[in-house]
Structures are given as structure tokens and as C-alpha cells.
Structure 1
Amino acid sequence: MLLQHSAAELGQLIVARPGSALRPLTEQLQKAHRERKGQSATKGDIASWNNSIPVVVEALLDCGLDEVEVQVEVDLPHTNSAVDLVLCGRHPGTDTDSYLAVELKQVRHATVDPACPIAVDLGFGDGMNKLHPVRQIQRYCEYMMRYLPHLRESDDRLMGVALLHNARDSDVEALFDLPESEHGFLYTLDDLDLFRRALTSRFTTASGKQAATALEQDRRDPLLKVTDVARQRSVTGGGLTLLDEQYVAVDRITRHLKRTAPRGGFEIGLFYDAEAAHSTAPDSGSKRVYILRGGPGSGKSAVALELQRALGLSGREAVLASGSHAYTETLRNIMIGTARRGQVSDKKKSARRLYQYFNSFTETPPDSMDVLICDEAHRLRRSSTDRWTPRDRRDDELPQAIELISAAKVPIFLLDDHQSIRPDEVGTADYLRELAEESGCQVDVRDLKGTFRSGGSERYQGWVQQLLGLGTASDPAPWQPDGKMTLVVADTPEQMEQFIRTRDPRRTTARITAGFCWPWSNPNGSQLINDVHIGDWRRPWNVKPQHEVADAPPSYRWSTDPRGVGQIGCVYTAQTFEYDWNGVIIGPDLCFRNGKFEVQRKGSRDPAFRSNVDDATVARCVRNAYHVLLTRGVVGTLVYAVDPAAQQALRRLIPGTIGLQHRDGDQPELTAEGPQLPPAFRRRHR
């Protein structure tokens, strides 16, 4: 949240000063934005603060609701999305806490995409459709209800509105076709009287400070992780709450499926369109390939699971494929775990059919599947040929991506351009687009820009890429805490482990991962080998995929089984998954030289980097691997570097460290704190 004041206090701040184009409120918000986000606000933000917020404040004052508290730019838990305003007060009927979420739009004209009623052109001139304002605020309210228990204490505690205060009804007429609800009403310049009535129906003249404090201090329910979403898909309301571009992307795909389905053969509850579903003219165009591109924590896997869930509810089967052993086996295991007595064998067959690997489609007839969802598509390989491929087929170097595109009527790829971690992994949006277009397919590329990990810190995602020199990023920059993501430097691996092990396993998950810089031995009977060693500290890697060891989880359950805290995870095990606290050991394959983090090939022990792999490919894979490892944390990340120069660089760039917090009557405990000196520079007690 950027700012909170009562309507009366804001009334003083919206009075324009002579000679200034900006109101005092706007100047305060600009300053708060720079402090919180480390960058200047956009012109759109400034215009909204200067022109839109005063409309709401004046409406509150006109209604005599001076004591209603107004919260500006309220973050949605665990994401980088924010509600423009949340009004907090007392309900006139029940005298309980009451809230109104307001999404402000300065648009004057809007048109709806004829193929998709929730995709609208709001006249910004960028040629990009946005999510319908009503659906946007509806999803925001649903998301808030999911993660803020205080809002769930009564059915009418939260209401949502979209306010288009510059637009006339006639200029945005098509927007009114979308059904409204308590979490999403639409008001325009012609409806300001109705908006005022909505305010008086939600609030009394009493102070809203208590309600605002209750919401600000409300316990945030933990973020649903990928495995949580997978387990809850069969539960009513157990799917993912899609936001913004996620919702638009899934809706576009499902509507395309309706157009290509036989008459009356396809209905999806969230996206059902009677006219489209009963159309007698299927889509006669060429095959359409969908590519959803997003960074770590953008919800790619959750979107894949939600899409599969929605299709399954409609009776239309979608296969989810991946190149990750841990991910695929976890999904299979979750499904098998739902089997009742006598159903285990059938569940195993279904799990193997619904969750497959990228190399499973070498002999699949063209268009024999309705929908193929390819998650983790950055792990696509050049071809499906491997050491088990029969000799008579080894000359057939058909791209693996072409096999997948050919197999399904509707192929869908979800990927991150910076997460391919092996030399033969080639999955990028540009690579897929080129292959698909060469095959005569239409290609639809969408970017998922949300952040559902790292505390919803968009700044952290950019900081990691800059640290590693990925994309167009420049030299490493100091980390500026934003109140969302905790980032600290550990003095030693022992200290990191102590911190990770002292997290409460009943409420949080915590793991340590490391770069692939130590050998990975087979277990000695029932004993794992302590391969990862730094000084006197030694720990084992997680169990290899083909092995079983007592008292240690199989590799695919390392991130979700509490016993996984006893081993160090590698990138192949950690990819796709997340945990609350994320410890990362940067090995000798990434050192600090000449003011930058540089890849040192000789420091890697990854067997994938054989002598015939060039240095540039090794550097790409190592940087991408640390990109994966550094972005697994939901709450916080701890880092430690083996290279002394790299550790010193992290010390300069990251102000946070681990320290002892003393509490009255309790033993001191390790906490993530602000700047401290490393052990060698701390004064000894005399």
C-alpha cells in the first residue's frame, strides 16, 4: 500500500496549488512510489492519482463520509498486482467492518473483442486488449477473499466496482453486456449518483480506522503452490484464481476450443458461451499454436493445471506434458493418491495418460489429441532421440517441438526464455514461433507478467536477471528492499542450514539448493554420500531419480516432503517447484571477476557439459540454472557464495543478513535482518 488517509484528510490533499500541475496528494504518492518500488511512477499512474482519486474522495465528502479510510494502491497478497483503492469503514446495516474495492479507469471509449467478451480495447492506442474492468475487479475481489480471512467472515464484507469517471454510458455501451455482481459493478460519468448510493449503502459516518487496521494486519493465508493447486483441483473452488493477462490467455484458448468443437460438444462453466458452443461452423482456419511466456512465479504451471481442470470439468481431456521428471512424477503421484480402494490400478493408468513427457509423442498420429498442454516448454530438446532410441530411427532428427505440435489439434506451450538448463534444451518463444509458422500454423504469443512468488516482488525478478547478466540486463546492482521479498546473505553454509532448519515445518517450507559443482554419487547401500562439501561442512545431494534411500524422499518429492530439508537440492529437482524460504549456495562455477558474475566452466560438475559443448552454451546454462535456483522462494531467499570475491560482492549488493533476535523470556533465534558485519569484522565480547 502506498498511502492511507481518511476522506477528510485526502480532501485537503486534492486541492490544487496555484502554479502546480500536480495536486499535493499526487506528489506524496510519487514519493511513496519511488521509496517502495525504487523507480519513478508511470505517466498513467500519475494521471490516475491526479485525476481519478479526487473523483472518489469528492463523492465520499458529498455523502458525509469524511471518516471513511482510503487505502491507495493496495497490494494483492503474494503478487505484484494492486487494487487502485480500498475504502474501509463500518456497514450501516450490521455495524461491522465494510470494504469497497475500486478499480479506476480514465478511458473515454471502449470496445469489446467480438471473439472474446472479456477482452476489451480501452483506447490506450497500444493495440493490446485488456481484461474487462468489471471482470478485473471481480477477480481481484475473489483473490482478496481467498487470501485474507477477515474478508471471509461474512458474505457482504467486500464489494467491488469499476469506475470509468470520464466515459459516458453510450461510449462504453458494450461493457455493460458482461454480468455484474457484488464484486464487480460498472459506473461511468453518467452513473455518479448511483456510485454515491453505493457508498452510502456500504458505509456509515463512523471512523474506518479500525476496519483499515484489521485489513492491513490480517493474517495472509499462504500462497497456493503448484502442488497445492494440483491437489485441490477436484475441490469446489479449488482452482486457481486467475488475474489479468492470465485470465485473458485462458479465456482465449477455451473460446478457440469452443469454435473448433462439434456442435453442442463443449461447455466450460467459467467461460461458457451458448452462441459459440452451438455454432454449426467450426473454425476452418489453420492450426493455432498458443505460447504463454512468463518469468519465474508468473503462474505458468498453475495456469496449465487450471486449464486442464476447466477442460476436464467440461468432459474434454487435455494431456499435460513436461520435460521434468520431478514435476511429472509429482502430478502422477498426486492423482494416484486420490484413488479409493480398488481404484489404484485405474488411477495409475489415467495418471500415465494425463501426465506425460515430451519424448512420449514420437509415434502419436497427427491431431489424435484434442489439447496438449506443454508446461516447462523451455526444456524442449532438439529431438526426442536418446540412447534408448532404436538404431533404425536415430537418423530421424525431427524437432521434438514439431512432434508435439503435430500430435494435438490445439498445442499450448508455457515457458520462460531464461530457464533452459541443459545444452540440448532449446525451448524459447522465438524458436517455437519459427517452427510453428514454418509448419503452416498460426501462432498466438502471450506474456504472463504477474509475479506470484518472491512476495509478489517484481523488483526482485529484475534484480536477479541483472545480477546474472541475463537478457538486456546491465551490471549487478544493489538490492533495494521493497517490503515484499526478504533477501539476505548468509555468512557460512552452516548458518544458512541452521536458519533453514529452524523454520517451523508446520507453517512454512524451507530448502537449500546449490549449483551443480560437486559430484553426485550413487548411495552407499541405504546411505547418501555427503558430496557437497565447503570447508568442514558436508551434506548429500537429494536422492537420484533412479534410486531409493530410507529416511529420504524420492527426488520428485524433495521439495514437498519434510524429509527433503536434510539434502541439498539441485536445479533438476527444484525447477517448477517453490518453497517459502529458499537457501541458495552459489558454487565455484559462478565467480565475481571484473565487476561482474562470470561463469567458470571448470567449477561445474554437471555431466551435461561434455567436451563437445561450447563455452557460450555452458555459460547460458549455468546462468539460467542460478536464475531458476534464486527464484524458488515465496517469502525469502538466503544466498552464500563459495568464491570469496563473489561473497564479498553479495555483501556489497545485499544489505540484509542473518542475525540473532532476542525476545523476552525466549532463547535467541535466527532471523533475517538488516545490515550487519560479517563474523570476521564483528567486535568480540570482552
Structure 2
Amino acid sequence: MLLQLSAAELGRLIVDRAGAEYLPLTEQLIHEHFRREGAEARQGDIASWNNSIPVVVKALLDCGLDTVEVQVEVDLPHTNSAVDLVLCGRHPGTGTDSYLAVELKQVRHATVDPLCPIAVDLGFGDGKNKLHPVRQVQSYCEYMLRYLPHLRENERQLMGVVLLHNARDPDVEELFGLPETDHGFLYTLDDLDRFRRVLTSMFAAASGKRAASALEQARQDPLPKVTDVARQRSVVGGGLVLLDEQHVAVDRITRHLEKTAHFTGYDVGLFYDADAAHSSASAPGAKRVYILRGGPGSGKSAVALEVQRALGLKGREAVLASGSHAYTETLREIMVSTARRGQIAEKRRTAVRLYRYFNSFSETPQDSIEVLICDEAHRMRRSSTHRWTPKEVRDDDRPQATEVIRAARVPIFLLDDHQSIRPDEVGTATYLKELAERMGCKVEVTDLEGTFRAGGSKRFQRWVQQLLGLDATDPVAWRPDGRMTLTVADSPQQMEQFIRERHLAGFTARITAGFCWPWSNPDGERLIDDVQIGDWRRPWNVKPQHSVPGAPKSDFWSTDRRGVDQIGCVYTAQSFEYDWNGVIIGPDLLFRNGKFTVDRTASRDPSFRSTIDDAVVTRCILNAYHVLLTRGAVGTVVYAVDPATHNELRRLVTGALGLQNYDGTQPKLTAEGSPLPPAHRTRRG
């Protein structure tokens, strides 16, 4: 939240000053934004603060609601999205806490995409559709209700509105086609009297400080991991609350399937036209390929699971494929775990059919799969040929992606351009788009710009990319944003102690490391302590082809609580997330001359053969650390084996682990410790 003041206090800040470019309120918000985000506010936000907030403040004052508290830019739990305003007060009838979420839009004209009723052109001139503002505020309210139990105490406690204070009804007429709910009403310049009636129906002329404080201090329910969502969906059919571009992407895909029913095989749906479907004039046209690109935690897997669920509710089967063995086997196991007695074998067959691998479509008949969702598509290989492929069916020149596109009527790819970690992984948005277009397909590329990991910290994602030089910029110091905890451990022992304490406190917590140590087969029923740093030594997670008593199989290392006892590698951690993330940077990544460089000789990854070009190895190792550093949902702890590299992390990251004493109790290792390592705390003469 950027600012909280009463309507009366804000009223004194929205008075024009001679010669000033902005209102005093706007200048204060610009300052607060820079202090919190470390970057200049966007012009669109500044214009909204300067032109839109005063409309709401004046409406409150006109209604005699001077003591209603107004919260500006209220963060949604676990995300980087924010509600423009949340008004807090007391209900005039019940006296209970009452809240109104307000989305402010300065648009004057708006049209709805004919193929997708929640995608709209708001007249910004950028050629991009936005989420329908009513659906936006509805989603925000639903999200707040899901993660803030305080708002669930009374179903009438929270309402949502969109205020288009510059627009006339006829100029945005198409927006009124979307059904309104208590969490989403639309008001224009023609409706300001109705908007004032909403205010007086929601708030009494009494102080809103209690309600604002209760919301600010409300307990936040934890964000479920992707595997939690998949498990809940398998048991109760529960869906996800999607936000902004996620919602547009899912709705656009499902609407396209309904619109093109005669081609995709859909004989139900809002847009199905039986006459058109059987008309000789209705040619199917080019196959449409969807590419959804987003960074770590942007909700790619959430979109994949939600598309599959939404189609399943319509009685349609969508196959979800991946290049990750751990991810695929985890989803299969979740489905099998819901089987009733006597149905396990049938459930397992269904799981194998619905959750597959990228290399399993080489012999699939053309267009035999209605919808094929390729999650983690950055792991798409150059070809499906592998060492066990029979000689008679080998085809090293046929791209794996062509097999996938050919097999599906509607192929969907979800990927991150910075997560391919093997030399033969080629799945970037550019590569897939060009390949699909050469096959005669129409391609839609959508960027998922939000983040649901790292406490919703987009700053942390950007910082990791800068740290590793993935965006062609130099590393910068980490500036805490209150969303993500980033800290440096003095030693691997200290990191392990901290991670284990978080594990015992009920958090999910894991340690991973760069692939810089050998990975031995188990010695009978015992794992070998391959990862050795000084006197500290621990085993890698179990190899995929082995089983060891007391340790989870490699596919379940990220989700089985016993995984805290082993060190995970990138191939085991990719696709998953956990609350606390410990990362050991090995000697394959060194900080020299102001940037990170790769030393391929320190890597033990068998895929980096001598014939692999240095540039490819560098890309893979940097992407591997990008994956490892972005697994944490709450916090990340780092340690570098190389002393110079560790010193650089100390310079760039202020956070440190250390013992803290609370109320005379036993000291605890926390992420708020002294930034000075023990070896440097005593001044030497």
C-alpha cells in the first residue's frame, strides 16, 4: 500500500497550487512509489493519481463521509497486482467493518473483442487488449476473499466497483454486456449520482480507522503451490483465481475452441452454430497455436491446469505434456491418489493418457488430440530422438515441436525464455513461433507479466536476471521491497540450520546447488555425501533410476517432506516451488570484473560434452541458476563456494542470517541477523 489517509485529509491534498504540475497528493504518491519500488512511477499511474483519485475523494466529501479511510494501491496477497483504492469504514446498518474496492480508469472509449467478451480495447493506442475492468475488479475481490479470512466474516462486507469518470455511457456501451455482481459494478460520468448512493449504502459517517487497521493487519492465508492446486482439483474440482492477463489468456483460448467448434470437435458452447458447422463454406482455416510466455512464478502452470480443468467441465479432454519427469510423475501420482478401491489401475491409465512427455507424440496421428497443453515448453528438445530410440524410427532432423503441433488440433505452449538448461533444449517463444508459422499456423503470443512467487515481487525477478546478466544489464544491489526475503548465509552449515528450522516450523524448505559435485549411485541402501564444502557434506537427491529407504524418489523430492535431507539439483527442482529456498552457488559460477562468468570446467553435468560450444554451456548454466534462485515463495538464502563471489553477494545483498533473542527466550537463527559475518565482527589491530 502506498498511502492511507481519511477522506478529509486527502481533501486538503487535492487542491491545485499555482504553477505546480501535480497536486500535492500526486507528488506524495510519486515519492512513496520511488521509495518502495526504487523506480519512477509510470505516467499512466501518475495521471490516475492526479485525475482519478480526486473524483472519489470529492464524492466522499459530498456525501459527508469525511472519516472514511482511503487506502491507495493496495497490494493483493502474494502477487504484484494492486487495487487502485480500497475505502474502509463502518456499515451504516450493521456497524461492522465495510470495504469498497475501486478500480479507476481514465478511458473515454472502449470496445470489446468480438472473439473474447472479457478482452477489451480501452483506447490506449498500444494495440493490446486488456482485461475487462469489471472482470478485473471481480477477480481482485475474489482474490482478496480467498486469501484474507477477515473479509469472509460477512459476505456483504466487501464490494467492488469500476469508475470510468471521463466516459459517457454511449462511448463504452459494449462494456455493459458483462454481467455485474456485488464485486463488480460499472459506473461512468453519467452515473456519478449512483456511485454516491453506493458510498452512502456502504459507509456511515463514522471513523474508518478500525476497519482499515483490521484489513492491514489481517492474517493472510498461504498461497497454494501448483501441486497443491492439482491435488485440490483432483479431489474437489477446485479452480484457481486468475488475475489480469492470466484470465484473458484462459478465456481467449476456451472461447476460441467454442467459436471454432466445427474444427476442434466442440459441439457445445456459447458460439456453436450447427448450420455453420456443416456448411461447405465453413473451412477450418489455419491451425492456431497459442504461446504464453512468462517468468518464474508468473502462473504458467496455473493457466495450464485451469485450461485443462475448464475444458474437463465441458466434457472435453485436454492432454497436458511436459519435458519434466518430476512434474509429470507428480501430476500422475496426484490423480492416482484419488482413486477409490478397485479403480487404481483405471485411474493410472487415465493419468498416463492425460499427463505425457514431449517425446511421446512422434507416432501420434495428425490432429488426433483436441487440445495439447505443453507446460515448461522451454524444455522442448531439438528432436525426440534419444539413445533408446530404435534405429529404424530415428529422425534427428525432425524438430520435436513439429510432432506436438501436428498431433493437436489446438496446441498451447507455456514457457520462460530463460529456463532451458540442457544444450538440446530449444524452446523459446521466437523459435516456436517461427517453426509454427513455417507449418502454416497462426500464432498468438501472450506475455504473462504478473508474478505469484517470491511474495509477488517483480523486483526480485528483475534483480535475479540483472545479477546473472540475462537481460544484458549489470548486477545491482538488492533493495528490499517487503515482499521477498533475500539473505546471505555465512556457511552451508548455517544455511542448512536455517532451512531445517523453517522446515520444522511447518514451511516447505529445500536446499539446491549448482551441478558441481559428482552424483554417485547409492551404496546399497545409503546415499553418498557427494556435495562437500570444507567439513560440511550432504547427499544429492536420489537418482531417477534408484530407490533408497528413507528418502523420496527424485520425482517427489520437491514435494515430499523428506526432501529436506538431500541437496536438490536443477533437474529435480525445476517446475516446483517451496516457501524457503536455499541455493549454493558452486565454482561453475564466478564473479569477476563486475559480472558473473561461467567456468565450465567446474561443472559435473554430463550433458556438457567437449563438443558443446562454450556459449551454449554458458547459457545453460546461467539459466540453471536462474531456475534455482527463483524457486522460493517466501524467501531465498544464498551461499557461494568461491570467496570472491560470496563477497560480491555480501556487497549486493544486505540481508544476513544471525541469532536473535526475543523476550529472553533461546536465541533463534533468523533472516534479520547481523550483516557482518562472524569472521569479520572483531576488529584486528
The two structures have a TM-score, normalised by structure 1, of 0.97
For 2:270 and 2:614, how far apart are their aligned partners in 1? 56
| Equivalent position SS for 2:126 | coil
- Which residue identity does 2:222 align to in structure 1? P
Instruction: Please give the residue correspondences for 1:60-79 in structure 2 after superposition, counting only pairs within 5 Å.
Output: 60-79=60-79
* Contact in 2 for aligned 1:266/1:277 (Cα 8 Å): no
Alignment partner, residue 614 of structure 1 = 613
* Contact in 1 for aligned 2:531/2:538 (Cα 8 Å): yes
CA offset at residue 678 of structure 1?
1.2
- Which residue identity does 2:540 align to in structure 1? W
For 1:275 and 1:377, how far apart are their aligned partners in 2? 30
For 1:562 and 1:620, how far apart are their aligned partners in 2? 32
For 1:479 and 1:258, how far apart are their aligned partners in 2? 46
* Contact in 2 for aligned 1:486/1:637 (Cα 8 Å): yes
| Equivalent position SS for 2:494 | helix
Instruction: Please give the residue correspondences for 1:426-441 in structure 2 after superposition, counting only pairs within 5 Å.
Output: 426-441=426-441
Matched, 1:464 2:460: no
The two structures have a TM-score, normalised by structure 2, of 0.97
For 1:441 and 1:419, how far apart are their aligned partners in 2? 25
Alignment partner, residue 124 of structure 2 = 124
Distance 1:33 1:675, change over 3 A: farther
Percent identity at matched positions?
A: 75
Instruction: Please give the residue correspondences for 1:108-257 in structure 2 after superposition, counting only pairs within 5 Å.
Output: 108-234=108-234, 238-257=238-257
Matched, 1:568 2:559: no
CA offset at residue 396 of structure 1?
5.0
For 2:501 and 2:369, how far apart are their aligned partners in 1? 48
CA offset at residue 205 of structure 1?
1.0
For 1:234 and 1:322, how far apart are their aligned partners in 2? 19
Alignment partner, residue 295 of structure 2 = 295
Alignment partner, residue 532 of structure 2 = 533
Distance 1:266 1:146, change over 3 A: farther
Matched, 1:51 2:47: no
| Equivalent position SS for 2:74 | strand
- Which residue identity does 1:657 align to in structure 2? A
CA offset at residue 267 of structure 1?
8.4
Alignment partner, residue 680 of structure 2 = 681
In structure 2, runs of 5+ residues without a counterpart are none
CA offset at residue 600 of structure 1?
0.6
> Deviation per CA, 1:627-674, whole angstroms, max 9, x where unpaired?
000000001100000011100000000011011111114211111126
- Which residue identity does 2:603 align to in structure 1? S
CA offset at residue 259 of structure 1?
1.8
* Contact in 1 for aligned 2:108/2:171 (Cα 8 Å): yes
CA offset at residue 279 of structure 1?
6.9
Distance 1:137 1:639, change over 3 A: same
2:276 to 262, 276, 280: 280
| Equivalent position SS for 1:670 | strand
For 1:295 and 1:241, how far apart are their aligned partners in 2? 19
* Contact in 2 for aligned 1:68/1:88 (Cα 8 Å): yes
Distance 1:126 1:401, change over 3 A: same
- Which residue identity does 2:516 align to in structure 1? C
CA offset at residue 260 of structure 1?
2.2
For 1:684 and 1:133, how far apart are their aligned partners in 2? 59
| Equivalent position SS for 1:99 | strand
For 1:124 and 1:236, how far apart are their aligned partners in 2? 41
Alignment partner, residue 580 of structure 1 = 579
Alignment partner, residue 494 of structure 1 = 493
Alignment partner, residue 549 of structure 2 = 550
For 1:193 and 1:180, how far apart are their aligned partners in 2? 18
Alignment partner, residue 455 of structure 1 = 455
* Contact in 1 for aligned 2:660/2:673 (Cα 8 Å): no
Instruction: Please give the residue correspondences for 1:367-378 in structure 2 after superposition, counting only pairs within 5 Å.
Output: 367-378=367-378
CA offset at residue 275 of structure 1?
3.6
> Deviation per CA, 1:164-212, whole angstroms, max 9, x where unpaired?
0000001101100110000000000000000000011111111111111
| Equivalent position SS for 1:545 | coil
Instruction: Please give the residue correspondences for 1:360-439 in structure 2 after superposition, counting only pairs within 5 Å.
Output: 360-439=360-439
CA offset at residue 556 of structure 1?
1.2
* Contact in 1 for aligned 2:261/2:267 (Cα 8 Å): no
Alignment partner, residue 81 of structure 1 = 81
| Equivalent position SS for 1:446 | strand
- Which residue identity does 1:530 align to in structure 2? D
* Contact in 2 for aligned 1:266/1:314 (Cα 8 Å): no
CA offset at residue 263 of structure 1?
10
> Deviation per CA, 1:570-614, whole angstroms, max 9, x where unpaired?
000000100011000000000011111100111110001011111
For 2:217 and 2:275, how far apart are their aligned partners in 1? 50
Distance 1:277 1:103, change over 3 A: farther
For 1:535 and 1:283, how far apart are their aligned partners in 2? 68
Cα RMSD of the aligned pairs, angstroms, is: 1.6
For 2:221 and 2:590, how far apart are their aligned partners in 1? 38
CA offset at residue 507 of structure 1?
3.3
Alignment partner, residue 34 of structure 1 = 34
Distance 1:278 1:427, change over 3 A: same
Distance 1:475 1:429, change over 3 A: same
CA offset at residue 280 of structure 1?
3.0
| Equivalent position SS for 1:66 | coil
| Equivalent position SS for 2:671 | strand
Q: Which sits farther off after the overlay, 651-660 or 667-676?
A: 667-676
CA offset at residue 397 of structure 1?
2.5
Alignment partner, residue 342 of structure 2 = 342
* Contact in 2 for aligned 1:265/1:277 (Cα 8 Å): no
For 1:263 and 1:301, how far apart are their aligned partners in 2? 26
* Contact in 2 for aligned 1:108/1:167 (Cα 8 Å): yes
| Equivalent position SS for 2:657 | strand
CA offset at residue 238 of structure 1?
2.0
> Deviation per CA, 1:205-264, whole angstroms, max 9, x where unpaired?
111111111111111111111101101114667211111111111111111111222499
CA offset at residue 132 of structure 1?
0.5
For 1:590 and 1:240, how far apart are their aligned partners in 2? 38
* Contact in 2 for aligned 1:582/1:633 (Cα 8 Å): yes
Distance 1:674 1:40, change over 3 A: farther
